[in-house]
Amino acid sequence: MSTQVVEPGGPLVGRVQVPGDKSISHRVLMLAGLADGTSTIRGLSDGDDVACTRRIMEALGATVTEDGPCTLRVGGRGLEPANRTLDVGNSGTGIRLLAGLLAGLPFRSVLDGDASIRHRPMDRILEPLALMGAKVSGRDGSSLAPLTIDGGGLRGIEYRLPVASAQVKGCVLFAGLSADGPTTIVEDRPSRTHTEELMAATGIPLVRETDGPLERVTVKPGCPAPFDHEVAGDPSQAAFWAVAASIVPGSEVVVGNVYSGPARSGFIDVLARMGADLVHDPATGDLTVRHAGLTGTVVTPDEVPGLVDEVPILAVAAACAEGETEFEGVGELRIKESDRLATVESELGRMGADVRVDGDTLVVRGGSLRGTRVDSHHDHRIAMSCAVAGLVADGPTTVRGWEAVATSYPGFEAHLDALQGRG
Ligand code: S3P
């Protein structure tokens, strides 16, 4: 287990390019593997989660060649059975999306992952896949990974998501590519739209409609055409620098080329409401953030799908703000890479923050933070959130389990050094 020591220091100044968006990276690898021909992907996430999906697509017969840093050429031409268990590592997005893709392919596959993945709920995808006629079973008759999938023979369904989840939506839409007719997903609270955007961009017949308060996406069976895609920067990683620059006096940081599509920029709205000095230029994607005093706010359940991964780092912002911040309707955080309600409460609590969980609401009262030993709980976003909190603590903060950061942002430490003028 590795540790990282963060020293409070001077302002963060400069420009940084975060990794390519992780959600998009998984999906473009999968679509490129399904396509009949060679696709080019630039700016792919360099994190371990996406590397697992790449290796899985290769095990299924896609050819992947590197063509420069974070640039891949992926050749499809028919996927085939892998001769081994497919390891998604720590990636919930990987296992849920791939389960949908593999449910449509006429052979047996087994998907597994690390200890965290083996505890995360898969019933949310097993239910719609079963309605489609898929044969997917979990460990010892449960709905937990490893998942054994005997693919093929799917029927199209209409499915209303019981929870706002782009992973479940994506799973069903990937399965829908191999169904016998159209598949429709209905959402009450719109989640990120990468699956449908990318499918449409690769020529798959897909219709998106707004039906009163509901969003409907219908996909018809089909095969993506080969494509070229440049993956924009990951807003979930940009959020760490947005909060860091907001709370460290004298800071001014520009994060380049940040993705700005639906349900991904909620953290920008919340920080702006808290008084942050930040501008996201839609033309360049540049997110410019300067230090500013923050005040508490209320984040409502409707906002949560648009910032679900940013709650831990927004909790750090709240811990440095004046007054109280409430994050309502954040129960989904219990089933992320760690139970993030528990881990935010315990780790920021160790640093002296006033954090409590009240049902599905996370409440954070601003104050001062102390440097101490904290634990990532094998969760990349908890590790990076604690590191950012450490920038304004009264002494060094030691983050145990720092290796978790590599799942999404291997360059985080180097970027922090560069912004602190040590690069
Ligand atoms: C993701 C969707 C979100 C998010 C995850 C990535 C995706 O999960 O937490 O990190 O790429 O679809 P849910 O859709 O389950 O909320």
Q: How far is it, in rounded angstroms, from Cα 325 to Cα 322?
A: 9
Q: How far is it, in rounded angstroms, from Cα 364 to Cα 366?
A: 6
Residue 185 half-sphere exposure toward CB, CA atoms < 13 A: 31
Reported as type and span, the H/E element at residue 214 is strand 214-219
Whole-number Å distance, alpha carbon 34 to ligand 1 midpoint, is 22
Q: Give 307's pLDDT tier (boundaries 50, 70, 90).
A: very high
Beta bridge partners of 371: none
pLDDT exceeds 90 at position 37: yes
CA-proximal residue: ligand 1, atom 13 (nearest):
165
Write out pLDDT tens, residues 361-383: 999 999 999 999 999 999 999 99
Instruction: Name the residue of 163, 185, 309 to mutate for ligand 1: max ligand atoms within 8 A of Cβ.
Output: 309
CA-proximal residue: ligand 1, atom 5 (nearest):
93
Residue pair 170/27 in contact by the 8 Å Cβ criterion? yes
* pLDDT score for 140: 87
Write out pLDDT tens, residues 126-177: 999 999 999 999 998 899 999 999 999 999 999 999 999 999 999 999 999 9
Write out pLDDT tens, residues 204-228: 999 999 999 999 999 999 999 999 9
Q: How far is it, in rounded angstroms, from Cα 195 to Cα 170?
A: 6
Q: How far is it, in rounded angstroms, from Cα 225 to Cα 419?
A: 41
Q: How far is it, in rounded angstroms, from Cα 27 to Cα 30?
A: 5
Write out pLDDT tens, residues 40-79: 999 999 999 999 999 999 999 999 999 888 999 999 778 9
CA-proximal residue: ligand 1, atom 11 (nearest):
23
From the DSSP assignment, how many helices (H) and strands (E) are in the chain?
12, 23
Q: How far is it, in rounded angstroms, from Cα 328 to Cα 363?
A: 8
Instruction: Name the residue of 23, 123, 340 to mutate for ligand 1: max ligand atoms within 8 A of Cβ.
Output: 23
Q: Which is catalytic among the residues 21, 48, 309, 379?
A: 309
* Residue 49: active-site member: no
Whole-number Å distance, alpha carbon 385 to ligand 1 midpoint, is 18
Beta bridge partners of 254: 15, 288
Beta bridge partners of 322: 295
* pLDDT score for 77: 76
Ligand 1 atom at shortest distance from the alpha carbon of 305: 16
Whole-number Å distance, alpha carbon 372 to ligand 1 midpoint, is 31
In the structure encoding, which two tokens stand for residue 268, read together? 């920008």
Write out pLDDT tens, residues 86-123: 999 999 999 999 999 999 999 999 999 999 999 999 99
Ligand 1 atom at shortest distance from the alpha carbon of 23: 11
> Taking all residues of the chain, what is their mean pLDDT, rounded to a whole number?
97
CA-proximal residue: ligand 1, atom 9 (nearest):
309
Whole-number Å distance, alpha carbon 395 to ligand 1 midpoint, is 34
* pLDDT score for 68: 86
Tokens 């970027």 locate to: 415
In the structure encoding, which two tokens stand for residue 155, read together? 């029927």
CA-proximal residue: ligand 1, atom 16 (nearest):
165
Q: How far is it, in rounded angstroms, from Cα 386 to Cα 344?
A: 9
pLDDT exceeds 90 at position 423: no
Ligand 1 atom at shortest distance from the alpha carbon of 166: 14
Whole-number Å distance, alpha carbon 201 to ligand 1 midpoint, is 21
Segment 181-208 shows an average pLDDT of 98
Encode burial over 32-49: b for 16+ CB neighbours within 10 A, e otherwise: bbbbeebbbbbbbbbbbb
Whole-number Å distance, alpha carbon 192 to ligand 1 midpoint, is 8
Ligand 1 atom at shortest distance from the alpha carbon of 27: 11
Ligand 1 atom at shortest distance from the alpha carbon of 309: 9
Q: What residues line ligand 1, using a CB cutoff of 6 Å? A: 23, 93, 165-167, 170, 191-192, 308-309, 332
